[in-house]
Amino acid sequence: MDVVVFGAGSLGSLVGGLLARAHDVTLVARDPHASRVRESGLRVSGAVETHTTPDATTDGANLSADLALVTVKAFDTAEAANTLATGEFGAVLSLQNGLTEEILTDELDAPVLAGTATYGARLLEPGHVDCTGVGRIVLGSLDGGPDPVAERVGRAFRAAGLETLVATDMPRRRWTKLAVNAGINAVTALSRVENGALTDGDAAELAHAAARETARVARAEGVSLPNRRARTALSRVVDATADNRSSMLQDIDAGRRTEVDAISGEVVARAERHRLDVPTNRTLAALLRAWEAGRGLR
């Protein structure tokens, strides 16, 4: 399979590097990472050790491939979609946090698959990505149900040794992930604590309230996500990632823009469409946006 990875920073370099063990991969990345990969290949270290030689470019326009994998931060999705629209792809798959697939379907003719990733990745230096945890990629039809394109992509990922599940219930999985992120990411980022601090107490209650509101919005969107399922998912992720600093907390630590608009902000925006009030997510989004504004990041 030919694969273009659009936005090969941490996650895209890891997944692209692993896919290059079995497929023709082109990373769309920034320099000096792109030029280092062209010169010396890509080193993956940590939980997976490998060295592969994907192609790499800084120009994502006019490319074609069987699959475009989108791994830019959520706030760069619209620009990525515009650039991808200049090329030809058999399918498009996002592994981003947030409900970014809708932005891709608006711009692109190719079928857009839904995906989630629980692999951990960190770009250490140009040409070198650290796998901080082997997780799983789950992908499938955006609307749910069986999908031959998703099956083909799943087989290709497994052929490259990536832990991959092709699922027929992506609507519920995407919203469950959003509920978990709305709870954990926003609360840990604002209170500057590891995920494990949300095991119990007031901060945990706040995270669960954000997840519960998200589940309510999901149901208004026609997705069956009971509150108790969102609660269980959040508690499981807190336990499994107790020592993690969430990606949003890492962004705050590094003084970078966060994915608030795609997480808490998305819950608020969708709730408004259904005339629902989601005060916890509204408050969390306002605080995170205020932090970004104060830093000149928005």
Ligand X SMILES: CC(C)(CO)C(=O)C(=O)O
Ligand Y SMILES: NC(=O)C1=CN([C@@H]2O[C@H](COP(=O)(O)OP(=O)(O)OC[C@H]3O[C@@H](n4cnc5c(N)ncnc54)[C@H](OP(=O)(O)O)[C@@H]3O)[C@@H](O)[C@H]2O)C=CC1
* Residue 27 phi, psi dihedral angles, 5° rounding: -90, 130
Closest to 139 (Cα-Cα) out of 131, 127, 128, 148 = 148
Rounded Cα distance, 283 and 265, in Å: 10
| Residue 13 found at the interface with ligand X (CB under 6 A) | no
Q: Are 266 and 99 in contact (CB under 8 A)?
A: yes
**Taking contact as CB under 6 A, which single stretch among the options 76-84, 137-145, 243-251, 269-277 is the one that binds ligand X?**
243-251
Under rule CB under 6 A, residue 237 binds ligand X: yes
Catalytic residue among 23, 73, 177, 212: 177
Closer residue to ligand Y in complex, CB, 184/216: 184
* Residue numbers 84-103 binding ligand X by CB under 6 A: 97
Task: Give 203: exposed, middle or buried? Use CB within 10 Å, 0-12, 13-18, 19+.
Answer: middle
Residue 35: Cβ-neighbour burial (10 angstroms; 0-12, 13-18, 19+): middle
Quick check: 10 binds ligand X (CB under 6 A)? no
Q: With binding defined as CB under 6 A, does residue 131 bind ligand Y?
A: no
Choose the contact partner of 73 out of ligand Y, ligand X, none; CB within 5 to 8 A by kind: ligand Y
Among ligand Y, ligand X, none, what does residue 261 contact (CB within 5–8 Å per kind)? Answer: none
241 binds, among ligand Y, ligand X, none (CB under 5 to 8 A by kind): ligand X
| Cβ atoms 101, 142 nearer than 8 A | yes
If you search the block for the tokens 């609507």, which residue do you land on? 171
For ligand Y, which is the closer residue by CB, 34 or 225? 34
Query: Does the annotation count 73 as an active-site position?
Result: no
Q: First-to-last CA distance in the chain? A: 38
Contact pick of 195, 214, 235, 264 for ligand X (by CB under 6 A): 195
Among 26, 52, 235, 244, binds ligand X (CB under 6 A): 244
117 binds ligand Y (CB under 6 A): yes
Interface with ligand Y in residues 257-276 (CB under 6 A):
259
155, two tokens? 């087989």
Instruction: Report the partner that residue 234 touches, choosing among ligand Y, ligand X, none (CB closer than 5 to 8 A by kind).
Output: none
Query: Which residues pair with residue 57 across a beta bridge?
Result: 28
Q: Which residues are catalytic?
A: 177
